[in-house]
């Protein structure tokens, strides 16, 4: 994504597009009626939402994200020489979802719509495979990123149209949580318009999801793209997360029935100075404590193109002392990369692929508990997976 100019985000320049800065709130005139206080509600599903969120945010467990679109899954398969067919996608996801013992380390799995309705070659629904392992089935509900008119070549996430009816159908199919990913680009500003659109879209999605029995995973990803410092990422994260929780409250979203899936606070991928896991943990936890209410049950980090080992080391560093929330993982590439290399698309290597998945899941389980050691990690686990302008 090319950006027409670079804009430093601060109290004045964040309104560069001619709008009020997204950090400001207009005060009511003197003598005006008191503003009505919003009432948190989640309909008849409130108790179930809280229970589902707690189940996913359980000690030593995190989320396996396999919600890549068919096109993106095809890229994964192409890396091991397989054609992008429904049969091959089914075979790969069957390998993942039927891994014996996976539920010891994985509490939830985000599925693509195709996968939610699929079964194993033996006829067992994938949803039932997950339930047998005490893993909560989830579903990606957004419809992807499109250009945002009036912005600095930024994007917005579509998918609110028809979301209520789709969510009700997903619930009847067995899904119990949802995921909506939107992104903010630091090299593109970010503009006040893009941040407000991202936050409002996430809040509307969250309210609709809860109204239909699905725990919403709120994912405001701040992209790794750029050569900015970790301080710059911290500044943007504070403002974005504040805007997100403001609009969640405006939409009467039940905080106890959501999960937050943020990116870690790191330097840009092209920044000359890399940060240690301890530094990343310090910056990330500082922003979380300033911006995220303790009522939120779980912080399920995305890996965002980090290497498998980096993602695990950073998570481990964040769990060296108690946190107000369950601090865990919702990884896709950082759980799947080793699996693909071990499997190679060959039926006789399916067990090797499953062992690779268990190894990575266990490593991140230990990191969630603050007990991970990188000793013995392979060279492949150390290889970065960042892709500029990555799409799902």
Catalytic residues: 219, 261
| Cα–Cα dist 351/95, whole Å | 8
Joined together, the tokens standing for residue 171 give: 């619930």
Tell me the C-alpha to C-alpha distance, in Å, between residue 196 and each of 62, 119, 141, 243.
Answer: 29, 40, 20, 7
Spatial separation of the C-alpha atoms in residues 346 and 344, rounded to whole Å: 5
* CB 180 within 8 Å of CB 207: no
Do strands 177-184 and 155-157 pair parallel, antiparallel, or not at all (unpaired)? unpaired
Backbone φ and ψ for 155, nearest 5 degrees, come out as: -130, 165
Q: How many CA atoms lie within 13 A of 101 on its CB side?
A: 11
For residue 271, the tally of other CB atoms under 10 A from its CB is 17
22 vs 31: CA distance, rounded Å: 25
CA distance 233 to 245: 18
């Amino acid at each position: 994504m090319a950006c027409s100019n670079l804009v430093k985000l601060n109290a004045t320049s964040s309104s560069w597009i001619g709008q009020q800065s997204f950090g400001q709130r207009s005060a009511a005139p003197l003598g005006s009626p008191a503003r009505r206080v919003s009432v948190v509600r989640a309909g008849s599903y409130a108790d179930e939402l809280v229970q589902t969120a707690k189940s996913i945010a359980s000690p030593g467990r995190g989320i396996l994200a396999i919600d890549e679109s068919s096109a993106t899954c095809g890229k994964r398969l192409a890396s091991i020489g397989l054609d992008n067919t429904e049969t091959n996608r089914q075979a790969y996801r069957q390998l993942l979802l039927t891994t014996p013992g996976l539920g010891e380390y994985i509490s939830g799995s985000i599925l693509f719509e195709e996968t939610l309705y699929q079964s194993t070659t033996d006829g067992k629904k994938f949803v039932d495979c997950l339930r047998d392992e005490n893993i909560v089935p989830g579903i990606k509900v957004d419809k992807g990123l499109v250009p945002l008119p009036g912005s600095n070549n930024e994007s917005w996430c579509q998918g609110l149209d028809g979301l209520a009816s789709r969510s009700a159908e997903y619930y009847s199919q067995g899904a119990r949580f949802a995921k909506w990913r939107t992104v903010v680009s630091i090299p593109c500003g970010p503009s006040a318009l893009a941040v407000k659109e991202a936050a409002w879209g996430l809040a509307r999605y969250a309210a609709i999801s809860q109204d239909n029995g699905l725990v919403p995973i709120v994912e405001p990803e701040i992209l790794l793209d750029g050569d900015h410092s970790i301080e710059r990422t911290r500044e943007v994260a504070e403002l974005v997360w504040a805007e997100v929780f403001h609009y969640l409250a405006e939409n009467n979203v039940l905080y106890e029935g959501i999960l937050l899936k943020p990116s870690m606070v790191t330097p840009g991928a092209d920044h000359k100075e890399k940060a240690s896991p301890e530094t990343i943990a310090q910056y990330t936890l500082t922003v979380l404590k300033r911006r995220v209410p303790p009522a939120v049950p779980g912080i399920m980090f995305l890996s965002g193109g980090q290497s498998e080992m980096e993602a695990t080391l950073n998570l481990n560093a964040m769990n060296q002392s108690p946190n107000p929330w369950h601090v865990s993982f919702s990884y896709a590439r950082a759980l799947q990369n080793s699996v693909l290399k071990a499997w190679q698309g060959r039926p006789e290597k399916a067990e090797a692929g499953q062992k690779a998945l268990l190894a990575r899941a266990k490593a991140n389980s230990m990191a969630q508990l603050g007990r991970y050691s990188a000793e013995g990690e392979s060279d492949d686990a150390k290889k970065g997976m960042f892709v500029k302008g990555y799409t799902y």
